[in-house]
Amino acid sequence: MDEQKVVSLKEKFIYVKDGDRYGKRDAWYIMKPEGEGTLKRYKGDCEDFALTTLYQHCDESLVKFWWMLISYKAQITYCYVKEPHRGHAVLRIEDDWTDNIFGKVVTQADMIDYGYVFDTRYFNPLTVAIKLLKGKWWKYKA
């Protein structure tokens, strides 16, 4: 995973809950920058950060993006953050991990030391596809 791309995205990232941005629903997106020039910002939540990080890692190629997910070289993984206690999505690419809280490349052990509790669940490629399509469809229906 490219540390510079992760840090750059984190510097331009503004956390916004799906409920505040889209209503009460869950929405998954590959974020697009909003604003002009140096004021461009990415707005979203944890899974949006994970998806966008993967997309940027794949040089903004959807073919590479889906290949990484289908081949299980990358996963969007579910965990709990102890403080505040809530569900959270993180990105794993091979042995590298990141999320919108760390904003840099770390190990899973770093996340566990920080207080993350990993569930055995992860979002398989089909689930990711359905959530992305659902978000796209609802965006225009809401």
Residue 95 β-bridge partners: none
What is the b/e burial string over 79-117, where b = at least 16 CB atoms within 10 angstroms of the residue's CB?
bebeeeeeebbbbbbeebbbbbbbbebbebeebeeeebe
Is there a contact between 5 and 52 (Cβ–Cβ < 8 Å)? no
pTM > 0.85: yes or no: yes
How many domains does the chain divide into? Answer: 1
pLDDT digits (tens, 9 = 90+) for 46-87: 999 999 999 999 999 999 999 999 999 999 999 998 876 788
Q: Which domain holds residue 124?
A: 3-141
Over residues 3-41, the pLDDT tens digits come to 999 999 999 999 998 888 877 677 899 999 998 877 889
Q: List the strands of the sheet with 74-81, edge to edge.
A: 96-98, 86-93, 74-81, 116-123
